[in-house]
């Protein structure tokens, strides 16, 4: 998508302010008619409650014309602490531009993509935007999803699974960055777990979902250190989930996952990134899926 010709008088791109909420919600409702106003108010409220990251905008960018919001892109920034140093990710979400101004919609994304040290993700691209994503330099970091029955995986006798709570002693076995991920996602409605195997601790974050038109309850993997670790913990995790009647889980993947009993669905749930450090499949922490809800 390219900017065509001179900008219409009065058209500008700027960060979203709290005073813009009504206009932002109106624009998002026009662009995503399947979502109601309460969904978008909830989304903006959740963004307002997230910690500010450096000088980055709290909500995203708006395209404004003559005092009216005619385009929106929401941004979810998060800081990650890792062995290679800190990194910042930005999940781009809910890109919507009124029909009259769509030739200028790239201004919104261009305003976000200025920083070369930030990793940008798009985890729910609309089919109509895939070409624009590739033109902007986005590449796949997950090309499918693997649906599996964790209880059918082999379980080591020494493996056990614990639900995270603030006073859980086993939290001390994890680095501070992963303790933060577990506690924050538990507060956001996810199921945060620690799997203990042979004296080592493995963090897992799952999100309650439904599949087959809402008939079957399942869980989506939001965080694991690696798909190999997920496979190692799957049996114990599956037996833990059986207590709640959960039989099925799914996770982003590029191919079938050794050690998991299930089936791979290519081209399902495509996810893109742009920047220095692609997220690993199985890492959807602090993205729109968690913050806004499915």
Confidence at residue 132, expressed as pLDDT on a 0 to 100 scale: 79
Question: Does the residue 214 lie in any domain?
Answer: yes
CA angle 177, 124, 282 (to 5 degrees): 35
Q: CATH number of the domain that 43 lies in?
A: 3.40.630.30
Asked if 218 contacts 249 with a C-beta cutoff of 8 angstroms, the reply is yes
Can you give the pLDDT of all 294 residues of the chain as single tens digits?
Answer: 444 456 788 899 999 999 999 999 999 999 999 999 999 999 999 999 999 898 999 999 999 999 999 999 999 999 998 777 789 999 999 999 999 998 888 888 888 999 999 999 999 987 777 887 888 899 999 999 999 999 999 877 789 999 999 999 999 999 999 999 999 999 999 999 999 998 999 999 999 999 988 889 999 999 999 999 999 999 999 999 999 999 999 999 999 999 999 999 999 999 999 999 999 999 999 999 999 998
The model scores a pTM over 0.75: yes
**Full residue range of the structural domain in which residue 156 is found:** 145-269
Residues 28 and 78 in one domain: yes
Asked if 109 contacts 2 with a C-beta cutoff of 8 angstroms, the reply is no
Residues 110 and 216 in one domain: no
Among 85, 75, 82, CA closest to 55: 75
What tokens appear for 211 in the block?
């599949």
Residues 61 and 164 in one domain: no
């Amino acid at each position: 998508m390219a900017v065509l010709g001179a900008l219409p008088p009065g058209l500008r791109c700027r960060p979203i302010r709290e005073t813009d909420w009504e206009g932002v919600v109106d624009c998002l409702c026009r662009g995503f008619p399947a979502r109601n106003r309460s969904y978008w108010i909830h989304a903006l409220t959740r963004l307002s409650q997230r910690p500010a990251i450096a000088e980055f905008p709290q909500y995203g960018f708006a395209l404004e014309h003559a005092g009216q919001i005619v385009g929106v892109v929401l941004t979810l920034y998060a800081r990650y602490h890792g062995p290679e140093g800190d990194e910042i990710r930005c999940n781009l979400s809910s890109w919507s531009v009124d029909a009259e101004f769509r030739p200028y919609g790239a201004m919104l994304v261009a305003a976000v993509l200025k920083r070369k040290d930030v990793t940008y993700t798009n985890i729910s691209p609309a089919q109509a935007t895939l070409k624009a994503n590739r033109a902007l330099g986005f590449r796949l970091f997950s090309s499918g999803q693997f649906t599996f029955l964790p209880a059918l995986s082999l379980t080591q006798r020494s493996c056990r699974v614990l639900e995270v709570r603030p006073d859980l002693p086993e939290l001390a076995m994890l680095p501070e960055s992963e303790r933060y991920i577990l506690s924050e996602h538990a507060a956001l409605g996810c199921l945060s777990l620690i799997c203990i195997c042979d004296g080592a601790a493995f963090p897992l974050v799952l999100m309650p979902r439904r599949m087959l038109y809402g008939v079957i309850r399942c869980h989506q993997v939001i965080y694991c250190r690696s798909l190999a670790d997920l496979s190692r913990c799957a049996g114990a995790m599956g037996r833990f989930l059986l207590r709640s009647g959960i039989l099925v889980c799914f996770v982003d993947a590029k191919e079938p996952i050794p050690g998991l009993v299930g089936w791979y669905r290519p081209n399902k749930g495509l996810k893109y990134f742009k920047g220095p450090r692609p997220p690993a499949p199985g890492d959807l922490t602090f993205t729109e899926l968690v913050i806004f809800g499915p």
